[in-house]
């Protein structure tokens, strides 16, 4: 089978290797699609390091082709599945406390992490989530990023008829937009890119603000009868993305710092503002098994439309070009598609 191996920063090789052996408690999945996420981009650039060599890829959909003889669930060959490839040990304090996204061992050498840039993967039965034929494999590969948005919005308790400000209209910002609308929120999006703002409006944003041309806080106040947004999500790692967020919130407002940064990023916060207005600032990282299941169901119900976010489909022969394309800022999701 083919697999793309990251041997060092900026160095990825497509190799022919054996199909992985199956343990009795595992299932063998033929990978259909794998999205090139920000994590894969940062692994390729060297900004993030887990270990070398490593097979990247964790936004995966595929088909079960073999089931281990000790798998107790009713999984069958031919079943389409979304695959959770960011491992949880199931044994640490956080896993046992319902916070598996904080698993202490998720990138441990003892766990087989990532691996979606392969034609076949052997995974625990608990890592596969069956779905109906109502969505395509391409759409199902968005389960993991949608799950991260579900987690993010739960963390700030977005609820019916609230106003949410989303900072950044990249893939994750636009997925936050759609999930928030399912939760009953009205969404305002801020981004300096005119085309991305247009896409946000197409996907249901009530307003799109260009922070380079407009005062974000003033525009949000105008749209919310002067009170400000109930909550905000920061999905952009740009230095300027945080400016104006606190001023855009109403009293008791909540902020989710969704994006990760490759350097130490300091927040300039007026402690009196937090105290007097009961402002809440929360970080969010990854997702739990429940978030993953809920995300797949949202996709299956047709509540989240990811088709407009598929910018390019690539093959193994185009893997490096595809990663660079994903890093360019001119695309949403670039997806590796495996042939028959």
CATH classification at residue 34: 3.90.180.10
CA distance linking residue 141 with residue 144, whole number of Å: 7
CA distance linking residue 9 with residue 49, whole number of Å: 8
Residues 6+ apart with CB under 8 A from 97: none
- Is residue 236 situated within a structural domain? yes
Domain encompassing residue 170: 148-283
Q: Write down the pLDDT at residue 112.
A: 74
- Is residue 242 situated within a structural domain? yes
Q: Give the pLDDT confidence of 181-208 residue by residue, as tens digits.
A: 999 999 999 999 999 999 999 999 999 9
Question: How distant, in Å, are the alpha carbons of 78, 142, 228, 335 from that of 165?
Answer: 42, 22, 9, 28
Distance of CA 220 to the CA centre of its chain: 26
- How many CB atoms lie under 10 A from the CB of residue 248? 25
DSSP character at residue 118: B
Q: Are 107 and 75 in a shared domain?
A: yes
Q: Are 152 and 135 in a shared domain?
A: no
- 10-residue stretch averages of pLDDT, the chain, 340 residues long: 94 95 96 94 88 93 97 95 91 94 83 88 96 92 97 96 97 98 98 96 98 95 98 86 86 91 73 90 93 97 97 95 92 89
Q: Write down the pLDDT at residue 338.
A: 84
Q: Are 12 and 130 in a shared domain?
A: yes
The maximal CA–CA distance of the chain, rounded, in angstroms, is: 62
CA distance linking residue 64 with residue 77, whole number of Å: 5
DSSP character at residue 245: T
Q: Are 189 and 321 in a shared domain?
A: no
CA distance linking residue 6 with residue 323, whole number of Å: 12
Q: Write down the pLDDT at residue 268.
A: 76
Q: Are 209 and 321 in a shared domain?
A: no
- Whether omega for the bond prior to residue 53 falls within 30 degrees of 0, making it cis, is yes
Q: Are 203 and 316 in a shared domain?
A: no
- Is residue 263 situated within a structural domain? yes
Q: Are 54 and 124 in a shared domain?
A: yes
Domain CATH code at residue 211: 3.40.50.720
DSSP character at residue 257: E
Q: Are 85 and 22 in a shared domain?
A: yes
Q: Write down the pLDDT at residue 340.
A: 63
Q: Write down the pLDDT at residue 262.
A: 65
Q: Are 239 and 327 in a shared domain?
A: no
CA distance linking residue 36 with residue 319, whole number of Å: 10
Give the pair of three-digit tokens for residue 177: 């937009």
Q: Write down the pLDDT at residue 132.
A: 86
Q: Are 250 and 322 in a shared domain?
A: no
What total of structural domains would you count in the chain?
2
- Is residue 226 situated within a structural domain? yes
Q: Write down the pLDDT at residue 263.
A: 67
Q: Are 319 and 232 in a shared domain?
A: no
- Is residue 261 situated within a structural domain? yes
DSSP string, 39-91: HHHHHHHTSS---SSB----EEEEEEEEE-TT--S---TT-EEEEE-S---S-
Distance of CA 331 to the CA centre of its chain: 15
- Is residue 288 situated within a structural domain? no
Q: Are 11 and 121 in a shared domain?
A: yes
- Is residue 235 situated within a structural domain? yes
């Amino acid at each position: 089978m083919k697999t793309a191996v990251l041997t060092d920063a900026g160095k990825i090789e497509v190799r022919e290797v054996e199909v992985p052996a199956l343990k009795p408690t595992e299932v063998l999945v033929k990978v259909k699609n794998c999205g090139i996420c920000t994590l894969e981009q940062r692994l390729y650039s060297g900004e993030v390091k887990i270990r070398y060599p490593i097979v990247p890829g964790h936004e995966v959909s595929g088909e079960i082709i073999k089931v281990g003889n000790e798998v107790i669930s009713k999984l069958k060959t031919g079943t389409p599945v979304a695959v959770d490839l960011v491992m949880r040990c199931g044994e640490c304090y956080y896993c046992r406390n319902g916070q598996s996204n904080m698993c202490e061992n998720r990138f441990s050498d003892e766990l087989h992490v990532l691996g979606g840039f392969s034609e076949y993967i052997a995974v625990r039965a608990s890592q596969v989530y069956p779905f109906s034929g109502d969505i395509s494999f391409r759409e199902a590969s968005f389960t993991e990023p949608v799950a991260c948005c579900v987690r993010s919005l739960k963390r700030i308790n977005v609820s019916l008829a609230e106003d949410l400000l989303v900072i950044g209209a990249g893939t994750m910002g636009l997925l936050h937009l759609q999930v928030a609308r399912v939760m009953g929120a009205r969404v305002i999006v801020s981004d300096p890119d005119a085309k991305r703002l247009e896409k946000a409006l197409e996907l249901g944003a009530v307003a799109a603000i260009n922070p380079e041309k407009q005062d974000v806080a003033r525009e949000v106040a105008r749209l919310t009868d002067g009170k400000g947004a109930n909550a905000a999500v920061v999905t952009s790692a740009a230095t300027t993305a945080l400016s104006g967020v606190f001023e855009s919130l109403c009293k008791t407002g909540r902020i989710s710092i969704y994006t990760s940064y490759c350097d130490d990023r300091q927040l300039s916060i007026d402690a009196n503002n937090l105290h007097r207005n009961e402002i809440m600032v929360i970080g969010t990282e990854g997702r739990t098994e429940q978030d993953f299941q809920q995300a797949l169901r949202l996709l299956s119900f047709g509540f989240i439309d990811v088709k407009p976010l598929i910018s390019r489909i690539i093959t193994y022969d185009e893997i490096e070009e595809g990663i660079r394309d994903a890093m360019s800022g001119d695309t949403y999701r670039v997806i590796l598609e495996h042939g028959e």
